[in-house]
Amino acid sequence: MTRSIAAPLIDRVALVTGAGRGIGRGIALELARLGADVALVDVAADGISAVADEVAEIGSKAITFVADVSDRSQVFAAVDHAASALGGFDVMVNNAGIALVGPISEVTPQELARLWAINVDGVLWGIQAAVAKFKELGNKEGGRISKIINASSIAGHEGFAMLGPYSATKFAVRALTQSAAKEHAVDGITVNAYCPGVVGTDMWVEIDKRFAELTGAAEGETFEKFAATIALGRAETPDDVAGFVAYLAGPGADYMTGQSGLIDGGMVYR
């Protein structure tokens, strides 16, 4: 894979959280292919180190930063490092997240706190850090539209059984996306979200295993059951999601803000 000839994101700097695997990796590579230099952030170093090598092969610059997105100070530090090391800052992709599968009646305070801290607080801290940096750099005054792109889900549009608290976090991300879009349009910042469905990633492997434990289904059965409802006839890939996120990051979406776009192959219709 090499840079696109058109490279609509040339001279742009993007940061992607949860970039070490799955959807985050796919997003980082697609942004690099379209010309962006990329800051790769994850809670573990190994994954982002490998992705950085892939970005370099494409021809874009990459830096890595280990951070826990539930810690506000670490998110701000990651953004500071990205802007300093890559010479600017234009796109924040708040992708990091975790799942929680189980009956609503059995969710513990500890499970809920961790889920919320990563999926919601992590997005909020990312929004705050990005807005502060965009303003500090004077992106609006320089004629650059800044982008914040948040990870929601089909579960942020419709509640699913056994995924209640997870769905709640993704509904919350949509609310943050809309509120931030309204507050920061005046600052030349657009804020949108992407809402994937059934994606062939490690997270979905974990979701499937948990459903198997709780329901007695065979491993792989829950994934296939959900995938069978997709109108386009196949499960989603990280590249499917990455293409939509790249659109949101690019000039074609400059007049779009406050939206949470479903990219699910036809599962949930809104």
Cα distance between residue 197 and residue 58, in whole Å: 28
Rg (CA), the chain: 18
Structure tokens at 8: 């609509």
- Closest Cα to residue 42, out of 13, 22, 59, 12? 22
Q: Which of 166, 247, 255, 269 is catalytic?
A: 166
Cα distance between residue 41 and residue 95, in whole Å: 10
110: how many CB neighbours lie within 10 A of its CB? 8
CB 118 within 8 A of CB 129: no
The answer to whether residue 194 is catalytic is no
Cα distance between residue 49 and residue 128, in whole Å: 26
- Closest Cα to residue 83, out of 21, 41, 29? 41
Sequence-distant (6+) residues with CB within 8 A of 63 are 38, 39, 40, 52, 81, 82, 85, 86
Structure tokens at 139: 């992106």
Q: Is residue 162 exposed (0-12), middle (13-18) or buried (19+ Cβ within 10 Å)?
A: middle
Catalytic residue annotation:
166
